[in-house]
Amino acid sequence: MSCCRKLVITVVFSFLTLFVIAQDSTRVFPTHWFTGMKNRDLQLIFYNKSKNLSGENWVVQSADPAIKVKRFYKNPNRHYLIVDVEIAPNAQPGKYLLKFGGLALNEWSKIWFELKPRSPQNGKTRIKGINSTDLIYLIMPDRFSNGDTTNDRIAGLRDQSIDRNNYFKRHGADLKGIQNHLNYLQQLGATALWLNPVLLNDMLDRNEHGYAFTDHYTIDPRLGGANAYHELIDSIHKRGMKIIQDAVYNHVGIEHFLYRDLPDSSWFHWWPIYTNTTFKDQVLMDPYASTIDKKRMSDGWFTEKMPDLNQNNPQVASFLIQHAIWCTEEFGIDGWRIDTYAYNDLDFMNRCNKALLNEYPQLHLFGETWVHGIPNQSFFTRNQYNIPYKSNLPGVTDFQLNLYGIVPALTQEVGWTEGVNRLYGTTANDFVYADPMKNVIFLDNHDISRFFSVVGEDVAKQKMGLAWLFTFRGIPQLYYGTEIGMKNFADPDGKVRLDFPGGWAGDSANKFEPGGRTPAESEVYNYVRTLANFRKTSPALTTGKLMQYVPEDGVYVYFRYTAQQTVLCVMNPTDQEKEIDMHRFEERIKTFTQARNVIDGTVIDITNKLKVPAKTLWVGELVR
């Protein structure tokens, strides 16, 4: 008799928790699922690190027609049992008992598995998507605020250290700390929070960044666990704000149970000797690239502590895709930032993106594309190219507008292709994207140098960069602390991930409060708050079109506009005041005669000349 004819399954769905019968420590992934999903196929992975879950004559039994069993797999490692099922379209939330084991031995494992209803608030108060009307605030959860000191150390986890004097150690901040400062974030003008990974990273070293998962279905208890994550997101959504989760599909941490206790060897990429990725994304689009170079780029490990997942294995692909869908529904995720996008199998990424957007069309996905060159970056997102590989990723982190846009504009002398001309030229190549407004623009993040340091700790240039961030096309992302001028370079000591001052009891200064900021910090903070909150209600800056003019005399002029509003932006990064002849811009100025300074409210005449101070990005709303 075949395995499939023997296989009958019962699935028990309850409301919250995986129940274990008769002290059975078997886990199941996903831990529960949901009714009403468009895709009703589901892969269940049962795991018990100390018990065999399959044998020669073992079966899985079910008596409920709500579950149709398609097949099951006896993995070489019998600590695993993988079962493919199809959930009936009329399946209801409730309890279904699942039992599997050996008939002759009368040895059975029994588990309750849960099925929850999909939230009726999807697309309304949760899972709303991220778009150009938003301002994303990026937080490193371990470095923002410690709201619950009882979870600083968790018994049983490998890393028991808390050392705020070491930039590469855990510092103890958590999700409760973020929740405690939602007023600060909302008043600043943020509408969406992107958190570096919150999943369990039970690694001995380098826990602060969170990119080495060791259990996909456990929110790190040192951050507060699932309850704290639910509470934070519920609080965010009640304020009309949004949440972005960080996805890592390319690799896991070396302590992940799937690596330490392999279902089978095909779950990861293996090499005769350790082989790192080359980080050369060019080979993926290079018409002359060798096969081995492509393989090393995609299948090489990111680091020795991050095993590279084989996404061509259907079980691996299903595990990753289901987890993303599960998190979206379970927590109400509004958007996903996808880590190390270029290093994944790109066909898998198209499949994963499609699966998420099929269930949640309003969801926004944007991938980390830390690459060099506009063709390279646009290759990984929806684009205008007629080439064999077509990405379905909606947007990317726009490193090109950072590395080859705003940074040279404010740090280089003006030349034919230098300074503001670099920003102009990079923007002119937006024609390659299907929709550049879906790209996320930024000044800095957790991997690159703080913008304030990049511009030489010049407050005027810091404010120019911020003005550009809030007035340009795309979705702006602000890194925590940029609003108070936090500084330092990415290499070699990781100081771009310093703690937010005031996030810990006993900090010498509390930058969350006006009284804790220096005059220079207050100047930048107030500038951010003014511009960010103006942007919230500005149709031109959130959804308007962009028109730019070729830079002249070191000055770069662009407009954001809709039928209802026009905003004029004049960037003068030079050391001299510039007088601009406004007749050149009649196409956009039209019948407007005045402009109201967005920062201080002063109204000036723009019918003839406009004087722009040195090192200023002047932003004005046109009025008649």
Buried-exposed string 511-549: b where 16+ CB fall within 10 A, e elsewhere: bbeeebbeeebbbbbebbebbbbbbbebebbbebebebb
The tokens of 585 are what? 């811009």
- DSSP line for 45-105: EEE-TTS----TTEEEE---TTEEEEEEE--SSTTEEEEEEEE-TT--SEEEEEEEEETTT
The question of whether 339 is a catalytic residue gets the answer yes
Please state, in angstroms and rounded to a whole number, the distance separating the CA atoms of residues 339 and 336: 9
Sheet holding 80-87, edge to edge: 27-29, 41-47, 80-87, 67-73
Starting at the edge strand found earlier in the chain, the sheet holding 364-367 runs 395-396, 364-367, 335-338, 242-247, 192-195, 136-139, 475-479, 440-442
In the residue annotation, 577 being an active-site residue is answered as: no
Q: Which of 114, 174, 246, 339 is catalytic?
A: 339
Distances (CA, A) of 521 to 60, 137, 463, 536: 63, 18, 11, 23
349: part of which helix (H) or strand (E)? helix 346-359
3 state DSSP class of 11: coil
Residue 221, helix vs strand vs coil: helix
**For residues 199 and 220, what is the distance between their CA atoms, to the nearest angstrom?**
5
Helix (H, G, I), strand (E, B) or coil at 473: coil
Q: Which of 368, 398, 483, 499 is catalytic?
A: 368
What is the dihedral sign for C-alpha 310, 316, 318, 319?
negative
Residue the block writes with tokens 């369990």: 200
Q: Report the SS3 class of residue 134.
A: coil
569, 544 contact by CB (below 8 A)? no
Q: Which letter does DSSP use for residue 444 in this model?
A: -
Active site residues: 339, 368
